[in-house]
Amino acid sequence: MKQVSIFRFVVSMAIALLMVVTALPAQAFAATPYEGYTINNLGEDVHSINGYIYESSIDGYNLPSGPFNAPEDVFLADDGTIYVVDTGNSRVVQLNANHEVVNIIGDEEGDGKLNEPKGVFVKQDGTIYVADTKNQRIAIYDKDGKFIKQFGKPENPLLGATFSYSPSKLLVDKRNYMFVVSDGNTQGLIQIDPNGQFKGFYGANHVGFSWSRLFVKLVATDEQKAKLSVVKPLEFSNAVQDAEGFIYTTTLGTETNQLKRLSPVGVDTLNIGERRYGGRFDAGPFEVPSFLDLAVDKDGVITALDLQSSKVYQYDKLGNFLFVFGGLGEQNGLFVTPSSLAQSSDGTVYVVDKGRNRIDLFRTTPFADLVHDASKLFVDGRYKEAEGMWNEVLHLNGNFELAYLAIGKSLYKAESYKEAMHYFELARSRTDYSNAFKEYRKEYIREHFAWICLAIITIIILLRYIIPFLWRRLPALWSSRNTARTERIKGGVPHDRNV
């Protein structure tokens, strides 16, 4: 009796356990609505593990401030404070790290009243700079949200008569200079000093040389030229500053070099040559990515938002592709009309979805944490320390080509050139392969010097003496055999031709 009950207990437990085990995956892993991929050296996208997963949203419905309306920007302070530019409600909502309302800025009547602001920047001391777009000004508030002062439209002959001022994004550098993105302005970032004086344009895009334009210029008459549309440099859509004070920009309307890191004199230092950011076919063929916003973390990892595909792309400090997430759609994790993004100090990415009036939070996966740690060491050139991590990355995902490159570089530095060559081949990096090969060749020649010398001498002897000898003798041998045969046929008369 007892045995039977124990047996029954065991069996029922096993069945229950089996049921739990089979039921568990369906409950525990909600599938992400997007597929992670990485880009290999041939420019193809190959499957990869997702780096970011949707976590939660802030939509304002359960906040005393009420729901957001078409938010355009978000700013994350180092202490975790969140500033949401609630454009449709013409205000900036300040939330603390627990997503509770701390303050609402610019909604009271008076000088500080905002009118459809589109951008915000908060300094270390808490001073709030708002790009008050419809009022054509920059409004400044202290850390308690009290209006201090404003800077109106900058005046300068350089700006030209037709200049229309519509500040949408801004940042403030260590000298308190403001760098303002004005919608539709193609001359670069507008630099304004702490006194509100215009100090020139910064980092403008340039119109490159074009053969077709030169041809048109040579051929067209003046009237035809007047009818042609004017070629203007491309427009910036956003600008952010990293911890070191470098300014990063996003450019609209181009397929290459949409993301830039500008040096203090305004020269791009991120891209050497042409580089394509964004997905090639994510938005469909013949669609140009239009990057709206980007965030740069303390290690230089760049996270950028593309409106065309509604995806977020992440690149390391050197511009190597790391991760992609998001997309167009209604599910959690996809966006309707994304407008801006920011990254908190713990790595969570905040994406503002203007179309759905909310802010989506994405957390990193363990795989992404691993890649980030490894890539941080990699971009600093500490290849050896990163090698173990990259091996682990490959263990999780053999498609991650950057890992092969990184391990190859580590091996190269450790002077194991043959293995480095193998890894560079896997990473499809021909230049690195060739460099490793050159070192390997040097090593090989040094080790086998005697044999190589011997081989060269043999070849010289072969070419100089033996082959010419055979060349001279072979036809003679051939013809003597032929004559021998004729002799036999002709009945043993030797050399009958001479007879």
Partner 1 sequence: MIATFRMMRQVLVHPIDFYHDIQEQGRIKWGQALFVVAFAYLARMIAILITGYAFEKREPHEISFLHEFIWLVVPWLTWTVSNWGVSAILEGEGKFKEVFVGSAFALVPYAIFIVPITLLTNVLALDESSIYSFLINFTIYWVGWLLLLKVKIIHDFELVKMAWITVLSIIGILIMWFIGILMFGLMNQLINFVVDMIKELNFRR
Q: Which residues bind partner 1 (CB under 8 A)?
A: 42, 425, 430-431, 433-435, 437-438, 441
- Complex with partner 1: residue 261 or 409, whichever CB lies closer: 409
- Complex with partner 1: residue 123 or 422, whichever CB lies closer: 422
Minimum distance from residue 192 beta carbon to partner 1 (Å):
48
d(CA 205, CA 251): 8
Minimum distance from residue 42 beta carbon to partner 1 (Å):
7
Minimum distance from residue 425 beta carbon to partner 1 (Å):
6
Residue in 384, 467, 351 with CA at minimum distance from that of residue 34: 351
Q: At what angle do helices 401-413 and 366-379 cross, to 10 degrees?
A: 40
Contacts of 49 (CB under 8 A, 6+ apart): 36, 365, 367, 396, 397
Can you tell me whether residue 241 is helix, strand or coil? strand
Query: In a 10 Å sphere around its CB, with 0-12 CB exposed, 13-18 middle and 19+ buried, how is residue 170 labelled?
Result: buried
Residue in 147, 153, 178, 155 with CA at minimum distance from that of residue 166: 153
Residue in 276, 238, 301, 250 with CA at minimum distance from that of residue 72: 238
- Complex with partner 1: residue 382 or 438, whichever CB lies closer: 438
Residue 237 CB neighbour total at 10 angstroms? 22
- Complex with partner 1: residue 190 or 405, whichever CB lies closer: 405
Minimum distance from residue 276 beta carbon to partner 1 (Å):
19
Minimum distance from residue 473 beta carbon to partner 1 (Å):
15
- Complex with partner 1: residue 166 or 435, whichever CB lies closer: 435
- Complex with partner 1: residue 441 or 485, whichever CB lies closer: 441
CA dihedral (134, 136, 138, 140) positive or negative: negative
- Complex with partner 1: residue 42 or 226, whichever CB lies closer: 42
Minimum distance from residue 387 beta carbon to partner 1 (Å):
22
- Complex with partner 1: residue 202 or 437, whichever CB lies closer: 437
Minimum distance from residue 256 beta carbon to partner 1 (Å):
21
Minimum distance from residue 423 beta carbon to partner 1 (Å):
12
Cα–Cα distance list, 447 to 203, 450, 454 (Å): 53, 8, 14
- Complex with partner 1: residue 107 or 425, whichever CB lies closer: 425
CA dihedral (208, 232, 70, 106) positive or negative: positive
Minimum distance from residue 447 beta carbon to partner 1 (Å):
15
At 266, list the tokens.
């305004």
Residue in 443, 242, 274 with CA at minimum distance from that of residue 343: 242
Minimum distance from residue 299 beta carbon to partner 1 (Å):
31
- Complex with partner 1: residue 158 or 467, whichever CB lies closer: 467
Sheet-wide strand order for 358-364: 52-58, 358-364, 349-353, 338-343
Show the CA angle centred on residue 342, arms to residues 90 and 386, nearest 5°.
Answer: 175
The secondary structure of 138-193 as a DSSP string is EEEE-TTS-EEEEE-S---GGG-TT----EEEEEE-TT--EEEEETT--S-EEEE-
Minimum distance from residue 438 beta carbon to partner 1 (Å):
4
Show the CA angle centred on residue 388, arms to residues 386 and 392, nearest 5°.
Answer: 115
At 88, list the tokens.
């449709």
- Complex with partner 1: residue 388 or 475, whichever CB lies closer: 475
